[in-house]
Amino acid sequence: MKPWQIIFAIAAKDWRVEGRARDVLSATLFFAVLVVTILAFAFGPEPSKLREAAPGILWVAIAFASILAASRAFASESEDGALEALLLYPVPHELIYLGKLLGNLGLMLVLALIITPFTLTLYGVGVAGRELPFILTVLLGVMGFSIISSFQSALTINLRSRESLMPVLFFPIVVPVVIASVKATVGLMTLDPSVDVWGWIRLLAGFNVVYLVVCTLIFPYAVE
């Protein structure tokens, strides 16, 4: 098998499991909707304030959902020695990481596809005419979260206090993704010329490339 076939086979396995159980998507989607709704109450009923807060709320919801999705995806691997079997496949472990990453990314993109229009509609904001850079921002932002969360849930899979460990490790590292995605989204929504949208998108792309390389290379040590 070629490397991309291996990656795709592992991702397809995760999608098949998800298609049958709908375990990850239902839980994370509900959670993300909850975050978006609760924060609307927290910021009060004033429409102008809500519009201002919308980009931040959207990305907080996606970040929280991402961490939940990744720990769930690896929780299913920890049952019945599934991970050991996965690691026994005669393929480089780097490809297993990329496969799990692709699987997680696919689910997160489905989630983003639902939660983003939901948030935009609910908060009365839009990106009309700038859809393409906005889609690129969402794609890169979600990917940044996935790279880190997939890696870290593999790292912490067999630890007792996994649930509390994940956020401790995850959030400080992905803060640059949150900042860059929020800034780019603000720039696209408000057309504020002082926001360098493409600069922030470049930062997202740079973050993704650097962490993708580092995490892929170090992954074999993380799952020994």
Partner 1 sequence: MNSKPSQAAWLTPVLGYSSVIVIAVALIFTFTAQPDVLQGYLTRILPIHVGASWLAYLSFGLTAVFGLTYLITRNPHWDRLSLSSTEIGVVFIVLSLFSGALWGRPAWGAYWQWGDARLTTTALMLLVYVGMLMVRGMIEDGGRRARVSAVIGIVASVGVPINYMSVYWWNTLHQTPSLSIAERRSALQNDGILIGFLVALLGFTLLYLYLLRLRGQLALQQTRLEERELDLELKGAIAND
Give the residues lining the site for partner 1 (CB under 8 A). 151, 155-156, 158-161, 164-165, 168-169, 171-173, 175-176, 179, 210-211, 214-215, 218, 221-222, 224
DSSP state of 22: -
Mention every residue, 6+ apart, whose C-beta is less than 8 A from residue 107.
Answer: 14, 15, 18, 24, 25, 28, 69, 73
Closest separation between CB of residue 206 and partner 1, Å?
9
129/172 with CB nearer partner 1: 172
9/165 with CB nearer partner 1: 165
Closest separation between CB of residue 211 and partner 1, Å?
7
Q: Is-contact 3 95, C-beta < 8 A?
A: yes
Closest separation between CB of residue 20 and partner 1, Å?
32
For residue 177, the number of C-alpha atoms closer than 13 Å in the C-beta half-sphere is 31
Closest separation between CB of residue 127 and partner 1, Å?
24
60/122 with CB nearer partner 1: 60
106/220 with CB nearer partner 1: 220
Q: What share of the chain is helix, strand, coil (3-state, %, to 5)?
A: 85, 0, 15
The DSSP result for 55-110, as a single string, is: HHHHHHHHHHHHHHHHHHHHHHHTGGGHHHHHHHSSS-HHHHHHHHHHHHHHHHHH
104/116 with CB nearer partner 1: 104
Q: Find how far residue 152's CA is from the centre of its chain.
A: 12
Closest separation between CB of residue 110 and partner 1, Å?
27
Backbone angles phi and psi of 166, in degrees to 5: -55, -55
112/180 with CB nearer partner 1: 180
Closest separation between CB of residue 38 and partner 1, Å?
24
CA distance linking residue 46 with residue 48, whole number of Å: 6
